Structure 1
């Protein structure tokens, strides 16, 4: 999983297939999705870019 910032976002996503995970610390849906995203990250079939807003 790549943890991106606003400055590095374009470089982090590159030209490959990505799942961009926008999340916030107060977001209850984000907390529910986090284990699913982490499991997908283990499979190495897709790049996951995490972006905290």
Structure 2
């Protein structure tokens, strides 16, 4: 899948629109940050469960 399609699929906008609109960039970056933090929490839980057994 191309980067353009991935961007559109994940955030509903293409790179051209992302690059042109500051509000859209901020929204996308906030979504990325939330996804990252959620992934970190899941990873921490998984690691804790591995060592508890």
TM class by shorter chain equals 0.3 to 0.5
TM-score, scaled to structure 2: 0.34
Answer with 1 or 2: which has the greater Rg. Answer: 2
In terms of fraction of residues, the more helix-rich structure is 2
